[in-house]
């Protein structure tokens, strides 16, 4: 496929975009593409630059460097209301003096459609988002989830090439947020509009997205599918930020193929997969996910293990976790417990063993700013 052909199938192309506020660099040389009908999320902690980047795509902020193309057309100098993109904010900004139908039809009326046609299209879109027959309701009659769907309908009825979502679930309670994650993903698949979604919640990004970009300090650390980010992180930050991990300070002892032997400051050792080039004596991190650690009543045959003592158990249904501590040195690990089995009645003070397969642990060089 030629470069020209690859661009024609992308609804969004961001080329080396940067933005400064005085000496502070909010976004630094970010480039990526989003194919048509994809759910693309930008995941990162507060202050990483993701909202600034989304606002540049929407046209509310002008980039200092680079360019943004939507449907192959440069957006340099194009006002927000002239772009084939619409933004849904966390605080939905519905008009309380208007009915639900009038809220959804507002943009259509601004475009010059007749009241009758705008109402028909508004009713059709409300039905698509699961709110049939609601056009005459008042906004204050709706639940939080229904308001969310009205905001989406108001944007989608304008048939944008891109729907930009700025942490739209952040104001919802946890139960409703979990429900709306599935609703959003299903809605996006049904309408086929390209979504660009920003969030600091990894669960939202992993559940809903086709591709996720992990952002840190104004730059993308990694772009990949949720599974790639979870199982094949390319940096220590991605390993730490995506999913839950035990992160341990270590020093590289030796390397055998893709595996490295690691020395912990407290004296114990472990093996891990080298995720980048490492050398003996180098300061490193090792990451071990709670779900890959095995709890054992006796030492395993032919595999490294640690003798441990149970410190605490956190019951959370299928996310129940136990904290264990090495019996000889000051190293703690969190281990995910299965829902059923011999560990249901585990109590603090119990002496056990833990082990994990070396290929299920990751080792990264430890940088000076970590």
Does the structure show a pLDDT above 50 at 146? yes
pLDDT of residue 6: 43
The pLDDT assigned to 13 comes to 97
The structure tokens listed for 220 are: 């993308």
* Mean predicted confidence (pLDDT) in 165-169: 86
pLDDT band at 4 (very low <50, low <70, confident <90, very high): very low
For residue 9, the model assigns a pLDDT of 66
pLDDT band at 370 (very low <50, low <70, confident <90, very high): low
d(CA 209, CA 367): 30
259-263 and 246-256 beta bridge pairing: antiparallel
CA distance 242 to 102: 41
Whether 3 shows a pLDDT value over 60: the answer reads no
Q: Which pLDDT score is estimated for 369?
A: 59
> How far apart are alpha carbons 173 and 153 in whole angstroms?
21
Q: How confident is the model at residue 368 (pLDDT cuts 50, 70, 90)?
A: low
Q: What is the pLDDT of residues 174-221, one digit of tens each?
A: 787 888 888 888 888 888 899 999 999 998 999 999 999 999 999 999
Task: Decide if pLDDT at 2 tops 60.
Answer: no
- Please tell me what DSSP assigns to residue 199: E
Average pLDDT over residues 343-365: 91
Return the closest-CA partner of residue 107 out of 81, 75, 135.
81
246 or 93, which is more confident? 246
Partners of 65 in beta bridges: 18
pLDDT over 70, % of the chain: 96
* Residue 190 CB contacts under 8 Å (≥ 6 apart), including other chains: 128
Residue 248: the pLDDT is 93
Residue-wise pLDDT tens digits, 149-160: 888 888 888 888
- Per-residue CA distances from 79 to 25, 75, 88, 142, 262 (Å): 23, 8, 17, 32, 55
DSSP codes joined into one string, 71-117: TTEE-TT--GGGSSEEEE-SS----TTSBHHHHHHHHHHHTT--HHH
Mean pLDDT, to the nearest integer, of 39-64? 95
Higher pLDDT, residue 328 or 35: 35
CA distance 49 to 334: 31
Q: Which of 118, 94, 86 lies closest to 105, judged by CA? A: 118
Is the pLDDT confidence value at 291 over 50? yes
Q: Tokens 């609703």 identify what position?
A: 183
Strand-pair category, 10-21 with 24-35? antiparallel
Q: Which residue has the tokens 């020395």?
A: 263
User: SS3 for 360?
Assistant: helix
pLDDT at 89 over 50: yes
pLDDT of residue 7: 43
Q: Tokens 């679930």 belong to which residue?
A: 169
More confident residue, 113 or 211: 211
Q: How far apart are CA 38 and CA 35, in angstroms?
A: 6
Delineate the domains of the chain, giving CATH numbers in brackets: 3-237 (3.40.50.300), 246-365 (2.40.50.140)
Contact criterion met (CB below 8 Å) for 135 and 101: yes
Q: Is 96 exposed, middle or buried (0-12, 13-18, 19+ CB in 10 A)?
A: exposed
Decide if pLDDT at 8 tops 60. no
User: Which range has the worst mean pLDDT, 11-15, 151-155, 232-236?
Assistant: 151-155
pLDDT tens-digit readout, 292-348: 999 999 998 878 889 999 999 988 777 789 999 998 888 899 999 877 777 778 889
Q: Please give the share of the chain, as a percent, with pLDDT higher than 90.
A: 59
8 Å CB contact between 105 and 122: yes
Better pLDDT: 174 or 120: 120
Q: Which pLDDT tens digit goes with each residue over 245-289?
A: 999 999 999 988 899 999 988 778 889 999 999 999 999 999 999
**How would you list the strands of the sheet with 294-296, edge to edge?**
294-296, 351-355, 306-314, 321-326, 332-336
Q: What's this model's pTM, rounded to 2 decimal places?
A: 0.88
What is the Cα Rg of the chain in Å? 25
Q: What is the mean pLDDT of the chain?
A: 89
Q: Are the CB atoms for 223 and 264 separated by under 8 Å?
A: no
pLDDT at 1: 36
CB 294 within 8 A of CB 314: no
Section 66-77 average pLDDT: 95
Contact 285, 262 (CB under 8 A): no
What pLDDT does residue 206 have? 93
């Amino acid at each position: 496929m030629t470069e020209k052909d690859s661009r024609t199938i992308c609804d969004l192309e961001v080329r080396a975009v940067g933005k400064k506020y005085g000496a502070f660099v909010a976004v630094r040389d970010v480039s990526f593409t989003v194919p048509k009908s994809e759910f693309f999320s930008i995941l990162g902690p507060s202050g990483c630059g993701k909202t600034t980047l989304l606002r540049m795509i929407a046209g509310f902020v002008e980039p200092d460097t680079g360019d943004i193309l939507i449907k192959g057309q440069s957006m340099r100098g194009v006002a927000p209301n002239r772009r084939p993109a619409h933004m849904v904010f966390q605080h939905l900004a519905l008009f309380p003096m208007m009915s639900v139908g009038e809220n959804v039809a507002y943009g259509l009326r601004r475009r010059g459609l007749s009241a009758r046609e705008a109402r028909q299209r508004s009713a059709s879109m409300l039905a698509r988002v699961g709110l049939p027959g609601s056009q005459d309701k008042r906004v204050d009659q709706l639940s939080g989830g229904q308001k969310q769907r009205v905001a989406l309908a108001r944007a989608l009825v304008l048939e944008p090439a891109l729907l930009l979502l700025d942490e739209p679930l952040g104001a919802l309670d946890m139960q409703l947020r979990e429900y709306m994650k599935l609703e959003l993903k299903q809605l996006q698949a049904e309408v086929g509009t390209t979504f660009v979604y920003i969030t600091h919640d990894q669960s939202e990004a992993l559940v809903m997205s086709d591709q996720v970009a992990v952002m840190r300090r104004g730059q993308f650390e990694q772009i990949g599918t949720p599974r790639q980010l979870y199982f094949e992180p390319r940096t220590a930050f991605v390993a730490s930020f995506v999913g839950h991990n035990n992160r341990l300070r270590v020093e590289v002892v030796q390397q055998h193929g893709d595996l490295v032997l690691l020395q912990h400051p407290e004296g114990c050792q472990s093996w891990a997969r080298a995720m980048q080039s490492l050398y003996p004596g180098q300061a490193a991190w090792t990451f071990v996910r709670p779900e890959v650690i095995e709890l054992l009543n006796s030492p395993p045959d032919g595999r490294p293990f640690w003798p441990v003592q149970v410190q605490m158990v956190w019951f959370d249904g299928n996310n129940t976790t136990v904290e264990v501590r090495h019996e000889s040195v000051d190293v703690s690990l969190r281990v995910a417990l299965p829902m059923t089995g011999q560990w249901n009645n585990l109590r603090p003070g119990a002496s056990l063993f833990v082990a994990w397969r070396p290929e299920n642990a990751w080792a990264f060089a430890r940088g000076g700013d970590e």
